[in-house]
Amino acid sequence: MRKMRRSDRATTAEKAWEILEKAEYMTLSMMGAEGVPYGVTLSFARVGESLYFHCANEGYKLDSLRKNPAVCVNAVYQQRTKAEEFTVAFESAVAFGKAFEATEQAEKETGLLAICKKYAPENTGAAAYIAQYPQVSVWRIDVSELSGKIHDWVNSSSSSTR
């Protein structure tokens, strides 16, 4: 496990998973296909201890993941600025793992159903239909390391948790 500088703000793994579930988007970071760092913001959903996202079936992101599947994910939930104290309250999670393309139809449907439940619960029936599109790629990130951090001056007894 990587050492967190502000360990007083560290969460449990269970809370870090909750933060990931509540976050609207994640930033996926990887080594780009040309050997330079690359990051992209994506919608995603959790299934067990994995994260799923979907995209087109070609492009720089996929070239990069196919060359080197090691990734880092960052997600932030409930960010609030307190300008007069030069601080920001937030809940965040960082996950490390490897990305794998879902090649079986059943797994593509599982990933897309989770994404539909999160972003469009009224349209979950579309997941199986969308999974059949040849231009849709579904990817799973198997999380091997997870941490979370909370800085919450709103719920603390003082105006800041520093």
For residue 124, give Cα distances in angstroms to 98, 116, 151.
27, 5, 34
Q: Per residue of the chain (162 residues), what is the pLDDT tens digit?
A: 566 555 555 577 888 899 999 999 999 999 999 999 999 999 999 999 999 999 999 999 999 999 999 999 999 987 677 777 786 667 889 999 999 999 999 999 899 999 999 998 887 777 776 777 778 899 999 999 998 877 775 554 333 333
Q: Of 80, 72, 4, give the one whose Cα is nearest residue 42.
A: 72
Predicted model pTM:
0.83
For residue 86, give Cα distances in angstroms to 83, 97, 109.
5, 33, 45
Q: Provide φ and ψ at 34, rounded to 5°.
A: -95, 10
Q: What token pair was written down for 74? A: 């960052």
Q: Of 10, 29, 135, give the one whose Cα is nearest residue 75.
A: 29
